[in-house]
Structure 1
Amino acid sequence: MTTARDIMHPGAHWIPAHETLDRAAQVMREQGVGALPIADENERLCGIVTDRDIVVKCVAAGHDPSRVACGDVAEGTPRWIDANADVNEVLREMQGHRIKRLPVIDNKRLVGIISEADLARHLPQDKVAEFAQGVYARG
């Protein structure tokens, strides 16, 4: 059985909800990623901020990213998956909620993140095609 842990990108970093978007952009650059899970004061997942969020929800809206907190752009209930979940559960979660990045949690701690690139590297083409159809197809 292939698990979330098997296909995740390990070592994902949290960014505190109170941290500013310009700092999030710096961390993304340093880590070579396009998204960061957002943690509340208890280090619990409370959202994800993406490079697109920074551009669309902040910069394009005329706001200063050094004055907007990461938590201010998080929307909805954050989705995550247990590290020991089967890869089919991962696909169901990502397709069912039409999300492209999924934090991986083990014992209430962030241990990694699964992105589209991780799916493409670790899954057969038919599974990747099924994922793309489920996430990108307009229904």
Structure 2
Amino acid sequence: MTAGVGKTVQDVMHRGAQCIGEHDSLRTAAQMMRDLNVGALPICGDDDRLKGIITDRDIVVKCCAEGMDIDRATAGELARGLVWTEARTSIEEALSKMEQHQIKRLPVIENHRIVGMISEADLANELPDDKLAEFVHRVYAHA
């Protein structure tokens, strides 16, 4: 059996992703990323639903470099791309979605709630070398 075949996202994702609130400051987001040792956080609204994702790079490029106030700008202001996958999605489908949107992390949803995150590193452990090389080429081709 080929590595990753038959496995679903929930088999390889990082469980229990912590959300940043859409009204929380970018400083709070940066501190959460530091404390959790992650480079991205899902953004959840007051209704506890996924609103987007924010990365450490978003904070640097779209806030700091633009002279925005990191204490006043909110995570919701920089929320980008509401792209996600269901927990029972196959690894191949998740990979395809990440390639299509040229993203390296994907929030995982189950019963309308975020339950984890899957990253390129998670997939790397499950893919044969040729598929991994193809994925990396497609995602980083336009990065």
In which range does the TM-score fall when normalised by the shorter chain?
over 0.9
Paired residue for 1:121? 125
Aligned residues: 137
Structure 1 runs (4+) greater than 3 angstroms displaced? none
Paired residue for 2:27? 22
Q: Among the aligned pairs, what percent are the same residue?
A: 53
Q: Please give the per-residue CA displacement for 1:71-127, whole angstroms capped at 9, x wherever unaligned.
A: 00113x410000000111101110111111100111111111011111122222222
Paired residue for 1:65? 70
CA distance in 1, matches of 2:139, 2:39: 18
Paired residue for 1:36? 41
CA distance in 2, matches of 1:90, 1:130: 14
User: RMSD in angstroms over aligned alpha carbons?
Assistant: 1.1
Q: TM-score normalized by structure 1?
A: 0.94
CA distance in 1, matches of 2:128, 2:48: 34
3-state DSSP class of the match of 1:122? coil
Q: Can you give the 5+ residue segments of structure 2 that lack an aligned partner in the other structure? A: 1-5
After the TM superposition, which residues 30-109 of structure 1 pair with which residues of structure 2 at under 5 Å, given as runs?
30-75=35-80, 77-109=81-113
Q: Can you give the 5+ residue segments of structure 1 that lack an aligned partner in the other structure? A: none
